[in-house]
C-alpha cells in the first residue's frame, strides 16, 4: 500500500496535530518541536513492502524527541534507518551524538529515548523494520544506534540505491513481489552492517565479539542440518565447547535458543511464501526440526499462531 500525507490544505492551527498523527502512524509516537508551527509544511510518502516500510519525508526545520513516556514493551521494537538526501540532521541516543549529512545514514531504535532534528529544510529516506527481523540475522542490532554509516560504498550504497528505485517500480509489483523486495532490503542492510569493521569492535571485547560473529556465521551455514550442536560448532570454530557457552552467556540467551529461533525465522519466511509447495512438515524438516509436534509448539510459542494458522492467514491476505 502507498500512502501520501501532506500539510497542504490543512489550516495552520491544525498542522501541528496533523503532523504529530502522521509521524506516529508512519513510525511511532514522538514529541515534535516546530521552528515555525503556523507556517510549517511537510509531506510524507510511504510504501509498504510486507513487514517493511520505506518512506520519503520532506519537511521544514523541526525537531523530534522520543521521550520515556513514549516507551512501551507492549509492541515489538522498531528500527528506523534514516538516510538524509538534503541538509544535515542531528541525532542523539544512548549517550552518543552524531551529525549525518547526505551520503551517510543512521540507525534509530524505538526502545530508547532519543533526539532528532534538522535546522534546515530536509529530504529524508527512512526504512522501518521490526527488531525481530534484524535480531534473527545479526546479534544485538541496538548497538549500532550510535554509529554513522557511509551510504555510498559497497553493500551500503546498494542498499540505498535499492530504496531509491522502489517508488518508480512499486505500482508494477505484485503483493508477493513487494514482500520479497522488503526482505531483500533487510538482507542488504544486514549485509552492510556485517561488512562494517565496527560490527566486530562494538559491544563487549573485540576478541569475544569476533568469536561470536564467526560462531553465528558457521551456525547459519549449517542451520538446516539436524545434527548441528554445540560440539560441532565449537570444533568448526576452533574453540572449546565450554568457551562457546561462555560467549553466548553475554547475549542473554543460550546457544540452543539462538539456533531454534534462527530455524523458526527460516520456517516463518517459507510459510509466508504463497508459492511454496512444501507441506508444513517438509518445511520443518528442511530447517532441522526432527519432531513435528515439538516444532508446532515452538512456533506457536514464538509467533502466537500455529504453523497451519500462520500459513492460512498469509495465504488468505
Residue 258 pLDDT class (50, 70, 90 cuts)? confident
**CB count, 10 Å around CB of 52?**
21
Average pLDDT score over residue span 264-286: 89
Q: What is the pLDDT of residues 49-83, one digit of tens each?
A: 998 999 999 999 999 999 888 887 557 789 999 99
Euclidean distance between CA atoms 314 and 317, whole angstroms: 5
Domains and CATH numbers, the chain: 2-201 (2.60.120.10), 206-315 (1.10.10.60)
Euclidean distance between CA atoms 222 and 10, whole angstroms: 56
Residue 152: strand, helix, or coil: coil
Q: What is the pLDDT of residues 106-151, one digit of tens each?
A: 999 998 899 999 999 999 999 999 988 887 677 677 778 878 898 8
Residue 249 pLDDT greater than 60, yes or no: yes
Are 159 and 189 a contacting pair, CB within 8 Å? yes
Are 51 and 182 a contacting pair, CB within 8 Å? yes
Euclidean distance between CA atoms 143 and 27, whole angstroms: 20
pLDDT at residue 308 in the model: 93
Euclidean distance between CA atoms 81 and 59, whole angstroms: 17
Residue 169 pLDDT greater than 70, yes or no: yes
- What sections of the chain are H helices per DSSP? 15-26, 131-135, 154-169, 175-194, 198-201, 206-221, 230-237, 241-249, 255-272, 280-286, 292-303, 307-315
pLDDT at residue 115 in the model: 94
Residue 174 pLDDT greater than 80, yes or no: yes
Q: Is the dihedral of CA 130, 298, 213, 220 positive or negative?
A: negative
pLDDT at residue 128 in the model: 96
**Crossing angle (nearest 10°) for helices 241-249 and 255-272:** 70
Residue 273: strand, helix, or coil: coil
Residue 204 pLDDT greater than 60, yes or no: no
pLDDT at residue 203 in the model: 47
pLDDT at residue 138 in the model: 73
Residue 255 pLDDT class (50, 70, 90 cuts)? confident
Strands 96-100 and 62-66: unpaired
Are 109 and 79 a contacting pair, CB within 8 Å? yes
Euclidean distance between CA atoms 163 and 55, whole angstroms: 9
Average pLDDT score over residue span 278-307: 91
Residue 202 pLDDT greater than 60, yes or no: no
- Joined together, the cell numbers standing for residue 216 give 553465528
136 versus 42: the higher-pLDDT residue is 42
Q: What is the 3-state secondary structure (H, E, C) of 167-216?
A: HHHHHHCCHHHHHHHHHHHHHHHHHHHHCCCHHHHCCCCHHHHHHHHHHH
Give residues with Cβ within 8 angstroms of 103, minimum separation 6: 150, 151, 152
Residue 207 pLDDT greater than 50, yes or no: yes
Residue 238 pLDDT greater than 90, yes or no: no
**Mean pLDDT for all residues in the chain:** 87
Q: Which residues of 21-33 are buried (b: 16+ CB within 10 A; e: fewer)?
A: ebbeebbbbbebe
Residue 38 pLDDT greater than 90, yes or no: no
pLDDT at residue 233 in the model: 92
pLDDT at residue 206 in the model: 57
Average pLDDT score over residue span 181-208: 72
- Joined together, the cell numbers standing for residue 56 give 520519503
Task: Kindly tell me the burial class for residue 147, based on how many C-beta atoms sit within 10 Å of its own C-beta (0-12, 13-18, 19 or more).
Answer: middle
Average pLDDT score over residue span 5-10: 89
Amino acid at each position: 500500500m502507498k500512502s501520501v500525507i501532506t500539510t497542504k490544505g490543512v489550516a495552520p492551527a491544525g498542522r501541528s496535530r496533523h503532523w504529530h498523527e502522521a509521524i506516529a502512524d508512519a513510525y511511532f509516537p514522538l514529541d515534535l518541536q516546530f521552528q515555525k508551527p503556523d507556517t510549517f509544511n511537510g509531506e510524507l510518502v510511504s510504501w509498504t513492502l510486507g513487514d517493511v516500510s520505506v518512506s520519503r519525508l520532506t519537511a521544514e526545520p523541526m525537531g523530534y524527541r522520543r521521550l520515556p513516556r513514549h516507551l512501551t514493551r507492549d509492541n515489538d521494537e522498531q528500527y528506523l534507518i534514516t538516510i538524509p538526501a538534503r541538509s544535515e540532521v542531528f541525532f542523539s541516543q544512548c549517550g552518543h551524538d552524531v551529525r549525518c549529512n547526505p551520503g551517510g545514514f543512521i540507525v534509530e531504535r524505538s526502545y530508547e529515548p532519543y533526539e532528532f532534528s534538522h535546522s534546515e529544510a530536509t529530504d529524508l529516506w527512512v526504512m522501518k523494520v521490526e527488531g525481530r527481523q534484524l535480531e534473527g540475522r545479526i546479534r544485538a542490532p541496538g548497538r549500532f544506534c550510535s554509529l554513522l554509516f557511509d551510504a555510498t560504498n559497497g553493500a551500503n550504497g546498494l542498499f540505498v540505491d535499492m530504496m531509491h528505485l522502489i517508488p518508480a517500480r512499486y505500482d508494477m509489483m505484485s503483493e508477493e513481489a513487494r514482500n520479497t523486495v522488503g526482505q531483500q532490503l533487510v538482507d542488504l542492510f544486514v549485509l552492510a552492517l556485517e561488512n562494517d569493521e565496527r560490527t566486530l569492535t562494538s559491544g563487549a571485547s573485540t576478541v569475544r565479539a569476533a568469536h561470536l560473529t564467526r560462531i553465528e556465521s558457521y551456525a547459519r551455514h549449517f542451520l538446516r542440518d539436524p545434527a548441528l550442536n554445540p560440539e560441532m560448532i565449537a570444533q568448526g570454530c576452533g574453540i572449546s565447547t565450554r568457551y562457546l557457552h561462555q560467549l553466548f552467556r553475554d547475549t542473554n540467551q543460550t546457544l540452543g535458543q539462538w539456533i531454534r529461533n534462527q530455524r523458526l525465522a527460516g520456517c516463518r519466511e517459507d510459510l509466508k511464501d504463497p508459492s511454496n509447495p512444501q507441506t508444513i512438515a517438509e518445511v520443518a524438516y528442511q530447517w532441522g526440526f526432527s519432531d513435528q509436534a515439538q516444532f508446532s509448539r515452538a512456533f506457536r510459542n514464538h509467533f502466537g499462531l500455529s504453523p497451519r494458522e500462520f500459513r492460512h492467514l498469509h495465504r488468505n491476505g
